[in-house]
Amino acid sequence: MTSATRAKLRGMANTLEPILHIGKEGITENIVTQADEALEARELIKGTVQKNCDDPVREVCHALAAELGAEPIQVIGRKFVLYRPSEKNPRIGL
């Protein structure tokens, strides 16, 4: 992924509200399922890592991205953004 593509996706993510919340349990099977469904429907999602989670935000973002076959776009503070093109209904043309 090029830096221009990543910048475009970061701009699109600015207006998004976090829909994925990682708690003290970390990345669970339920979180992976929710993220997978959200990525298929939206392609670009924002998530947060709660303060009670012991894992660093960047590690959580990259581990979840690897699990889902997604691309980590941005990590700022406790928020992160993931992108994965939809297999059935692509919405974001890159």
Would 65 be classed as within a structural domain? yes
Q: Which residue has the higher pLDDT, 32 or 92?
A: 32
On the question of pLDDT at 33 being above 90, the answer is yes
pTM above 0.85, yes or no: yes
CA end-to-end distance (rounded Å), the chain:
10
Q: What number of residues does the chain have?
A: 94
Place of tokens 């989670």: 53
Domain span at 31 = 3-83
pLDDT confidence of residue 88: 79
Would 48 be classed as within a structural domain? yes
Structurally, the chain folds into a number of domains equal to 1
Would 57 be classed as within a structural domain? yes
Would 68 be classed as within a structural domain? yes
What are the pLDDT digits (tens) for 39-56?
A: 999 999 999 999 999 999
pLDDT confidence of residue 83: 95
pLDDT confidence of residue 69: 95
What are the pLDDT digits (tens) for 2-23?
A: 999 999 999 999 999 999 999 9
Would 92 be classed as within a structural domain? no
